[in-house]
Amino acid sequence: MNREEKQEIVQSLTEQIKEYGNFYITDTSNLTVAKINEIRRKFFEKDIKIQVAKNTLITKALEAAGVDSGELKEALKGSSTILFSTVANAPAKVIKELRKGSDKPVLKGAYIDSAVFIGDKQLDALATLKSKEELVGDIIALLQSPAKNVISGLKSGGSKIAGIVKTLQERG
C-alpha cells in the first residue's frame, strides 16, 4: 500500500469517526470467508458500517478526528475491524447475536459519545445502553405523567370550582 492509499484510508476513517460519533473496535481474525460474509451481512442489515484497517491508520484517523486515543491504544493491537453506527448500542447487540454461534467477533474497545469502553467484558454494558432517542422518550414520558394525572383529576371533578380545588388539594 503506497502513501496516497494510506492517506485516503486515514481521511475516510476520520470522516466516519466525525460523522457517526460512535465506533467499536473488534477482532475478527482467523474467521472463514463464509463467517466474515455473514458478519458483514448482519451489520449491513442494522445499518452498521464495517471496515478493516491497520492499527496505525486507525490511530492517525483518531488523532485527525480529535479523539483522544490514549485509552484506545491498548485496544489497537493485533487485527482490528472498526464498526461505525449512529445508534450507540446497535453494534454491541449484533456482536452478542453473532457470538451465540462462535467466540468472535471479540470486542476490543468502543468509543460512545466521548466515553471509552475497553475490553470484551464491556459488551453487556454497551448492549444495554439506551440510545439518545430512547432517553428523550423516557424524559418526555416522565414529564407527561404528572400533567396527565392533573388533567384526569380535573375531568373527574367536573367543571365546578369546588371539584377543581378538591382535585388540586389531593394532588398537592
Closest CA to 51 of 65, 67, 36, 70: 36
The answer to whether residues 92 and 123 touch, using CB atoms and an 8 Å cutoff, is: yes
pLDDT (tens digit, 9 = 90+) per residue, 102-112? 888 899 999 98
Instruction: Give the gyration radius of the chain's Cα atoms.
Output: 24
Domains and CATH numbers, the chain: 3-127 (3.30.70.1730), 132-171 (no CATH)
**Predicted model pTM:** 0.74
Q: Choose the most confident range, by mean pLDDT, from 36-50, 69-83, 116-130.
A: 36-50
- Express each pLDDT in 113-156 by its tens digit: 878 899 888 888 888 887 777 777 878 877 777 767 666 665 66
